[in-house]
Amino acid sequence: MSEVRVRFAPAPTGFMHIGNLHTALFNWLFARNQGGKFVLRIEDTDEVRFTPEAVNVIYEGLRWLGLDWDEGPDIGGPYGPYIQSERLELYQSKVQELLAAGKAYECFCTPQELEERRQMMRARGLPPRYDGRCANLTEQERERLRAEGRTSCIRFRVKQTGKTVIKDIIQGEVVYDNSLIADSIIQKTSGFPTYHLACVIDDAAMKITHVIRAVEHLPNTQLHLQLQEALGIEPPQYAHLPLVLGPDRTKLSKRHGAVSVVEYAKMGYLPEAMFNFLALLGWAPGDEQEILPPQEIIKRFSLQACSASPSVFDMQKAEWMNGEYIKAMAPEELARRVLPFLVEAGLFEADPSPERMAWLVRVCELMRERVKRLTVFTTWARYFFTDEYEYEQRARQKWLNREDTPQKLEMLAERLQKLQRWDAESIEEAVRGLAAELGVGAGQVIHPCRAAVTGTTIGPSLFHLLELLEQSDVVSRLRRTAALAAGGQLRPAQEG
Ligand code: GLU
């Protein structure tokens, strides 16, 4: 068989939907599994024309996930250009061929006329579609319409009898009745091709062997197959990927929260976790294993193992998987990934000294087990980096609002201030010593202390956490909290 060639063909909307990245990933996986080529093509004939910024959004989304392309607008390739608005001559010459063969015709109907006729069809209970008014005009009639000052688009004469059978690798055999389609515009009055024409011509010109795309495009394939036949093109193989749904089982959209790739990066998702997560949306490795390195996914990937039924984008699972990747990550690497988030939040210097970096590595080592997303460090675990943290409701309720808390915190501050050595062991000794002196369990000191110094009720080993903070900061946080609590300022907020 000839070399596998697939393409990812996004419109440059300036926005990369997570569903688009999913399509890109499946194409890439198939290409890499087969030792084939992954082509990037920008489809800018239907919507906005490309801008460098909008194309950059696509490059960045792909690069973020670790997908490289073998041919594309930036690196060229044997079948370029890879931006459709730069290929107009090719499309126009094919349109001329179709016109000459009588397989396409000029249509002079105005948008308003079309709309009026559609409305009439609706009123009569008919499906609103093109009625073929210009399908059989004589040259004289065309001349007359041109003389009226009308412009024309080009329509493809579809075959309306029989059926179109699509043999889809994922969806199986899908049959569409040809009576359902009407003559379709292939070249607009502007001279630009429509998506359908450009896509079919480019897939052939770029020697694409497998078209792997979202299932929304399955109905378009009926027209694409007819166009291919008219143009004498051997159709590629088709594989339509299942829908990606939100948790409520409707198509994943903004309503469900983040949908753009950038947002996931901003929310602290690791690209390698997202790679793994997206790969499992609609594809299964064949066993129960869920955490799979890219090489393993590439090795095991096949279109046959993709499911035809929709898959649900489960945010909790995405978080869980992200957490698994973070746990498995070397603390040095984790620190490197966390740093930009801290810098952005103004919690860390952009160019830290080796000592500061080593300290951050220790923070990451301590936190690694409990981190689901990188943003944890700028939200609830911000206490490592700043005295400005919130006292959570639970911390107020359980510990900070108790009558004996201010005094306990004061006493602890006193003891900790006196420590000669600031390490976990000495801190633990001081905390336990105080508990013994007060005749209470150690928890009765540990919990209020955590609530005071971090504002939270859960976290890593308190003694190791305190060790990573400055002794003087811990002491002043204890005193500050004691004063606030004594002043009644840490009462739980009224609920509801
Ligand atoms: N430009 C189309 C899209 O973004 C490509 C569809 C296709 O892969 O054929 O949906």
CA 134 to centroid of ligand 1, rounded, Å: 29
pLDDT digits (tens, 9 = 90+) for 257-289: 778 888 999 999 999 999 999 999 999 998 889
Under 8 Å between Cβ of 225 and 292: no
Under 8 Å between Cβ of 238 and 211: yes
Beta bridge partners of 308: none
pLDDT confidence bin for 464, thresholds 50/70/90: very high
Q: Which fold has domain 393-495?
A: Arc Repressor Mutant, subunit A (1.10.10)
> Which of 48, 58, 87, 195 to probe ligand 1 with, by most ligand atoms within 8 A of CB?
195
Cβ within 8 Å of residue 25, ≥6 positions away: 65, 67, 275, 278, 279
pLDDT digits (tens, 9 = 90+) for 376-417: 999 989 999 999 999 999 999 999 999 999 999 999 999 999
Q: Look at 255 and 453; give whichever has higher pLDDT.
A: 453
* Pocket lining: 240 vs ligand 1, CB cutoff 6 Å: no
Under 8 Å between Cβ of 255 and 288: no
What per-residue confidence (pLDDT) applies to 257?
A: 76
CA distance linking residue 295 with residue 279, whole number of Å? 12
Q: Look at 92 and 127; give whichever has higher pLDDT.
A: 92
Torsion of CA 359, 365, 371, 376, to 10 degrees: 0
> Which of 199, 220, 222, 251 to probe ligand 1 with, by most ligand atoms within 8 A of CB?
199
CA 319 to centroid of ligand 1, rounded, Å: 29
Amino acid code (one letter) for 173: E
CA distance linking residue 231 with residue 454, whole number of Å? 69
CA distance linking residue 25 with residue 122, whole number of Å? 41
Highest CATH level, class, for 1-76+242-328: alpha beta
Greatest Cα pair distance in the chain: 108
CA distance linking residue 96 with residue 82, whole number of Å? 22
Return the sign of the alpha-carbon dihedral for residues 442, 443, 448, 454: positive
Beta bridge partners of 107: 153
Ligand 1, atom 5, residue with closest C-alpha = 9
With a cut of 70, say whether residue 349 has pLDDT above it.
Answer: yes
Q: Which two tokens stand for residue 335?
A: 């620190």
Cβ within 8 Å of residue 375, ≥6 positions away: 266, 267, 268, 341
**469-493 mean pLDDT:** 96
Beta 172-177 vs 163-168: how paired, if at all? antiparallel
What per-residue confidence (pLDDT) applies to 46?
A: 78
With a cut of 70, say whether residue 209 has pLDDT above it.
Answer: yes
| Domain 87-241, CATH | 3.90.800.10
**457-474 mean pLDDT:** 97
The verdict on whether 254 is a catalytic residue reads yes
Each domain of the chain, given as residue ranges in start order, spans 1-76+242-328, 87-241, 330-376, 393-495
What per-residue confidence (pLDDT) applies to 255?
A: 81
**Phi and psi torsions of 170, nearest 5°:** -95, -45
- % of the chain exceeding 90 in pLDDT: 91
CATH architecture of 330-376: Orthogonal Bundle (1.10)
pLDDT digits (tens, 9 = 90+) for 415-438: 999 999 999 999 999 999 999 999
Peptide bond into 331 cis (omega under 30): no
* Pocket lining: 370 vs ligand 1, CB cutoff 6 Å: no
CA distance linking residue 174 with residue 92, whole number of Å? 31
pLDDT confidence bin for 96, thresholds 50/70/90: very high
* Pocket lining: 168 vs ligand 1, CB cutoff 6 Å: no
Residue 471, Cβ density class (10 Å: 0-12 exposed, 13-18 middle, ≥19 buried): middle
pLDDT digits (tens, 9 = 90+) for 154-171: 999 999 999 999 999 999
**192-211 mean pLDDT:** 98
* Pocket lining: 236 vs ligand 1, CB cutoff 6 Å: no
With a cut of 70, say whether residue 75 has pLDDT above it.
Answer: yes
Compute CA 69 distance to the chain's CA centroid, rounded to the nearest angstrom.
18
Nearest-CA neighbor of 111 among 181, 188, 192, 179? 188
What per-residue confidence (pLDDT) applies to 1?
A: 61
Beta bridge partners of 79: none
Residue 320, Cβ density class (10 Å: 0-12 exposed, 13-18 middle, ≥19 buried): middle
Active-site entry in 254, 317, 372, 408 = 254
**Phi and psi torsions of 135, nearest 5°:** -65, -30
Ligand 1, atom 3, residue with closest C-alpha = 10
